[in-house]
Structure 1
């Protein structure tokens, strides 16, 4: 009886361990992943950085690397239209929000797909951000009218709809597939 119980428990543990390996590990790289990049420019046309979007297991991994922007905390969002016409980048439209959610990770009503954490720019003018957003797809990002990355003048409060009170748009880039 004791041997049977030990073997049964051992088999159950092995089965559970096998189940663990079948989980989707969100954020893990995938073979032949689709990627898109955006050259981030100011209203004067100066290139200040680059954003990359990469298909990963269960979502999209975004990386942003900028230099020459004002020091401080800045809202960074994926906007629903792949246009960045100066001077105010209004052609990028609102935040990418295919589900009609409210704005911000701290909003009890949910968040837009385009809501990213704040981008911190150091005193030397450089800032980087990397985040994996679960549930997103490159097909959704690169739909018929594309998408843009927008950097705002001020910090996103992560709650106020529709834009987190993050101020004007100071830099923008259109995602194009690689």
Structure 2
């Protein structure tokens, strides 16, 4: 009788071990499949980039913005100089036209979704909203952001490379992230055309 019980116990232990090994193998295959899907999705992203020159109100170069399409969104690498120390509103605008001195030619914020302005606005935010640009005591900035709300892929509704292009604008004051239409960020002091 003890032999039968020991045999049943051994079979039960073997079955449990077999189930554990099978489950671990299935989990590994699922993990491999998910990793393969992630790699395939990332490789499907078209890695395009654009170099944008920022002009000041006098029509002189005051910096650059390098835009790169990544799997996470559009990487925005900014180098700017000649600004006042502190924070400045920073946005994509709807028109690729930067006519000095006021850059009003750049139009409104890029807003294909017809939303309100500001990260803290319950009805917001514009696709063109970007975090404030922070400068050092000398008025220089070098920073990188990633925006998941825009793309460099032509033909997409939120593409910065839409027909006619768009622009990127630096404002004189900080964006408060809630007040429509531009976060009380004041006048436009730098502008770059994205074509």
Normalising by structure 2, we get a TM-score of 0.82
Which residue in the other structure is 1:23 paired with? 38
**Which protein is bigger by CA-based radius of gyration?**
2
Which residue in the other structure is 1:144 paired with? 163
Q: Provide the secondary structure at the position in 1 that maps to 2:117.
A: coil
Separation in 1, partners of 2:164, 2:125: 22
Aligned Cα RMSD in Å? 2.2
Which residue in the other structure is 1:102 paired with? 116
Separation in 1, partners of 2:64, 2:44: 22
Question: How many residues end up aligned between the 2 structures?
Answer: 175
> Which of 1 and 2 has higher RCO (CA within 8 Å, sep 6+)?
1
Which residue in the other structure is 2:11 paired with? none
Separation in 2, partners of 1:153, 1:57: 32
Which residue in the other structure is 1:117 paired with? 131
Separation in 2, partners of 1:141, 1:75: 18
Which residue in the other structure is 1:169 paired with? 188
**1:158-178 CA-partner distances (Å, limit 9, x unpaired):** 1111111111101111123xx
Which structure has greater helix proportion? 2
Residue 78 of structure 1: how far off its partner (Å): 0.6
Question: Is the counterpart of residue 83 in structure 1 residue 102 in structure 2?
Answer: no
Structure 1 gap segments, 5+ residues each: none
Separation in 1, partners of 2:25, 2:32: 11
Deviant stretches of 4+, over 6 Å: 28-32
Structure 2 gap segments, 5+ residues each: 1-14
Q: Provide the secondary structure at the position in 2 that maps to 1:83.
A: coil
